[in-house]
């Protein structure tokens, strides 16, 4: 496309935009279980209106926009309130989970350097199920990644003893997920906390997908084990508002146990021709709308709103577990939150995935072991019976051998 010589009118552009989306995954019809979190029309309206109210304002300028600075403070304070942040804990909003994780690693690295550790090549010790954002961040910062195999007991949890074994004097961080993305399982964070204590290590909890879910699941009576700042050696956490916080996209939080740790994050610079500038995270310009939308959605839902929504998601997950078990699938581990993965002992999961894709379903997949994967939204309660019906159908097709071709074609790299 070339920039048109003459601008077009908005009516035709609007129609064009709608048309362009017509072949996209049908998330509004509940057909996706990845990428989009659908909490219903009312939340979508708040996201939109609150976003546009501050769409032009810039989080880079807290002095010009004290409104945004205060909303960010409020969001961080609400986050720390949910995640047992102790007195003095602090943090910042970022553009997403990858950004939060990158900043946590940067902060841990600079903290280690300031303490005289890891002067050569730093490393981070991860369970195999940790998000690839850690590898991306470490690649950017020239930090080694040590991925450690999970426990072999079918729990899909981090193997804490093996992780502890893998740490050395250059280890700047160990990581647990709450939960991990591939299996939806919460790592034994308390045990990781003990290992961190023994070795004097920085423990980061990646609660990108669980940080704004697990506290409410617990309030609803789910036996969620301790996973946050309640564990005294948790130094930092990442928690995404644009996932189960139901905020507009471009909103995550990175949190630190103390201001002394946090102080290794901001970039404060004066040696150039321009005015001195201090930026807390990777971004320069920060979209004001992402901050105002997160603030508004959190205040709109409140504890009771989140408890209701996350309760609906957990109930849907239980229906999925019962439904897929009847079809012979095995659930990976014991998921407690909104993610569930399941494999089939007799049929290849990716053949079934291919059949489901043909039927219009766009979900994620897990590779170790090959499994179907769902990240559920409140809205899925209306669609899950259709999903299970199509799944039964797909298993039949695959069992009849018709799925072999689909398996070859199944597109499981989903971005
Ligand atoms: C989504 C996710 C991330 C990355 O978040 P983005 O917002 O996609 O950058 C990191 N960790 C976990 C566990 C996640 O689910």
pLDDT at 119: 83
93 C-beta closer than 6 A to ligand 1:
no
Q: Residue 70 has what pLDDT?
A: 98
pLDDT band for position 407 (cuts 50, 70, 90):
low
Does the beta carbon of 97 sit less than 6 angstroms from any atom of ligand 1?
yes
Ligand 1 centre to CA of 209 (Å) is 6
Q: Which residue, among 187, 182, 204, has the nearest Cα to 100 in the 3D structure?
A: 204
Average pLDDT over residues 194-199: 97
Query: What is the tens place of the pLDDT at every residue in 149-163?
Result: 999 999 999 999 999
> Rounded CA gap, 38 and 377, in Å?
5
CA nearest neighbour of 44 among 32, 27, 59, 24: 27
DSSP 3-state of 385: helix
Check residue 118 and give its pLDDT.
Answer: 85
Please name each of the domains of the chain with its CATH number: 10-44+302-409 (3.90.1150.10), 58-298 (3.40.640.10)
Mean pLDDT of the chain: 95
pLDDT tens digits for 316-348?
999 999 999 999 999 999 999 999 999 999 999
364: CA distance to ligand 1 center in Å? 13
Q: Is the pLDDT of residue 404 over 80?
A: no
Question: What number is the average pLDDT over the span 175-198?
Answer: 98
What ligand 1 atom has the least distance to the C-alpha of 180? 13
pLDDT tens track for 13-60: 999 999 999 999 999 888 999 999 999 999 999 999 999 999 999 999
pLDDT confidence of 172, banded at 50, 70, 90?
very high
Burial profile 298-326: b = 16 or more Cβ within 10 angstroms, e = fewer: beebeeebbbebbbbbbebbebbbebbee
Does the bond joining 369 to the residue before it have cis omega, within 30 degrees of 0?
yes
pLDDT band (50, 70, 90) for residue 91: very high
410: pLDDT confidence band, cut at 50, 70 and 90?
low
Pocket test for ligand 1, best of 35, 132, 133 (most atoms within 8 A of CB): 133
The response to whether residue 112 sits with its C-beta less than 6 Å from ligand 1 reads: no
The rounded Å distance from CA 101 to ligand 1 centre is 9
pLDDT (0 to 100) of residue 385: 97
Helices (H), 222-287: 259-262
Task: For residue 285, give both structure tokens.
Answer: 């310009």
Residue to mutate, 36, 95, 97, ligand 1, most ligand atoms under 8 Å from C-beta = 97
- Cα within 13 Å of Cα(212), Cβ side: 31
Is residue 76 within 8 Å of residue 259, measured between CB atoms? Answer: no
Contacts of 360 (CB under 8 A, 6+ apart): 26, 31
Q: What is the DSSP string of 65-112?
A: -HHHHHHHHHHHHHHHHHTTPPTT-EEEEESSHHHHHHHHHHHHHHHH
Residue 414 pLDDT > 70? no
Residue nearest (by alpha carbon) to ligand 1 atom 6: 97
* Pocket flag, ligand 1, residue 240 (CB < 6 Å): yes
Mean pLDDT of 164-189: 98
Residue-level pLDDT at 330: 98
Q: Which two tokens stand for residue 284?
A: 């320069």
Residue 172 CA, ligand 1 centroid: distance in Å: 21
- Ligand 1 touching residue 177 (CB < 6 A): yes
Residue 413 confidence class, pLDDT cut points 50, 70, 90: low
Which atom of ligand 1 is nearest to 240's Cα? 7
Mean pLDDT across the stretch 189-201?
97
Judge if the beta carbon of residue 210 lies within 6 A of ligand 1: no
Cα(310)–Cα(304) distance, integer angstroms? 10
Q: Cβ atoms within 10 A of the Cβ of 89, count? A: 23
For ligand 1, the distance from its centroid to the CA atom of residue 72, given in whole angstroms, is 20
Q: Taking 80 as the threshold, does the pLDDT of residue 138 lie above it?
A: yes
């Amino acid at each position: 496309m070339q920039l048109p010589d003459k601008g077009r009118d908005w009516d035709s552009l609007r129609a064009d935009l709608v048309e362009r989306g017509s072949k996209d995954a049908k998330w509004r019809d509940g057909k996706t279980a990845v990428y989009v979190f659908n909490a219903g029309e009312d939340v979508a309206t708040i996201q939109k209106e609150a976003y546009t109210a501050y769409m032009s304002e810039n989080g880079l300028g807290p002095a010009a926009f004290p409104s945004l600075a205060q909303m960010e403070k409020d969001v961080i304070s609400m986050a720390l309130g949910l995640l047992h942040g102790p007195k003095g804990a602090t943090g910042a909003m970022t553009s997403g989970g990858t950004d939060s994780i990158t900043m946590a690693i940067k902060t841990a690295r600079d903290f280690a350097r300031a303490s005289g550790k890891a002067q050569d090549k730093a490393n981070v010790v991860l369970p195999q199920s940790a998000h690839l954002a850690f590898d991306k961040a470490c690649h950017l910062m020239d930090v080694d990644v040590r991925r450690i195999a999970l426990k072999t007991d079918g729990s899909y949890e981090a193997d804490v003893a093996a992780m502890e074994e893998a740490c050395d004097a250059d280890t700047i961080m160990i990581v647990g997920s709450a939960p991990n993305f591939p299996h939806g399982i919460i790592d034994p964070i308390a045990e990781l906390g003990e290992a961190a204590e023994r070795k004097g290590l920085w423990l980061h909890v990646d609660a990108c997908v669980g940080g704004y879910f697990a506290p409410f699941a617990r309030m609803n009576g789910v036996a969620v084990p301790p996973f946050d700042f309640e564990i005294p050696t948790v130094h930092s956490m990442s928690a995404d508002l644009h996932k189960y916080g139901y905020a507009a996209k471009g909103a995550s939080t990175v949190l630190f146990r103390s201001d002394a740790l946090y102080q290794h994050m901001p970039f404060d610079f004066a040696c150039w021709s321009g005015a001195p500038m201090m930026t807390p995270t990777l971004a320069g310009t920060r979209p004001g709308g992402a901050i105002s939308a997160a603030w508004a959605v959190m205040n709109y839902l409140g504890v009771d709103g989140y408890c209701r929504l996350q309760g609906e998601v957990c109930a849907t997950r239980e229906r999925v577990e019962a439904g897929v078990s009847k079809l012979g699938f095995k659930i990976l581990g014991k998921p407690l939150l909104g993610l569930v993965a399941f494999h089939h002992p007799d049929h290849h999961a990716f053949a079934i995935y291919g059949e489901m894709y043909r039927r219009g379903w766009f979900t994620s997949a897990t590779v170790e072991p090959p499994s179907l994967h769902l990240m559920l939204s409140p809205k899925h309660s209306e669609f899950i019976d259709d999903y299970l019906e199509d799944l039964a159908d797909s298993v039949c097709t695959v069992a009849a051998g018709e799925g072999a071709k689909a398996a070859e074609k199944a597109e499981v790299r989903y971005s």
